[in-house]
Amino acid sequence: MNNQNQDFQNSEVNNVSEHKQQVKILVVTGFGINCEEETAAAYRMSGANAYISHLNDLFSGKIKLGDFDLLHLPGGFSFGDDLGSGKVLADKLKFKHLPDGVSFFSEIKKFLAEGKFIFGICNGFQALVKLGILPNISGNFEQEVTLTSNSSGHFEDRWCILKRNRFNTSPFLSMIENIELPVRHGEGRLLFSNAIVRDKIIEMGLNCLSYCDLGGNPTDQYPMNPNGSELNCAGLSDPTGRVLGIMPHPEAYLSLYNHPEWPSMKRHGKSEKEEGEGIKIFRNIVSHIRKNKA
């Protein structure tokens, strides 16, 4: 275990709830999740205190979800995606009980009822969808959409241009119009359970990000739309805007030098900053939480 993890597992675990004005992020790991370090780095770069913890420490009661402002489910391949991406993780989150007999899912519902935030990227988005936390139009936490195999029939690892839905009010995406991020998934095609759900998502602006062509226009054309999602959808928020799930990986673009075309971008003045576009999403939510805590 590295030092960044040890600081939480040891003395910090008892101090998380003491500093009321600090933005406290819980980044979970375990069971095949593999993007926790860069995700925690993104929050730390944004001025938050980010802690990485194995899910078993939450299930055992060693760590209390309520001590945090935001729960983050990172990307990865939880349980090897053997029964569908995010499905086993979702079932574990839904049916696991804490030592006092309370279900962990009821703790998640309480967490949201207190006005706190959840962010899922890639595998984390898949789990949130299968838990019924996204989009949760009915408010009953029942699954309304799914993320399934890409239309291309294979794993997609490419960079995509994304456009924010101007009708979406999630603070995660505040002031963002277009953003370029990488995708890395085999099951990212978003499908709606029926036309009513689809229409409600459009009406409420929950389809927060769309895959776009080079001109920034939403497209269903491959490979600019890498998976064939309905509505060209790359992400969803819930009606409150406090829960966000996206397939692209903003934590994979924290530095300009993460981009495969960074030399050209620097030569031609397409980027004056050393940081990557992905940091914007993390800074948005950390800033929003801090203002609300003040």
- Kindly list the catalytic residues: 122, 249, 251
Q: Which residues of 49-81 are buried (b: 16+ CB within 10 A; e: fewer)?
A: bbbbbbbebbbeeebebeebbbbbbbbbbbbeb
d(CA 86, CA 126): 5
d(CA 100, CA 229): 41
d(CA 232, CA 39): 25
Pick the closest to residue 167 from 116, 201, 211 (CA basis): 201
Strands 209-212 and 156-164: antiparallel
Quickly list H helices, 87-193: 87-95, 104-113, 123-131
Q: Residues 248, 160: contact at Cβ < 8 Å?
A: yes
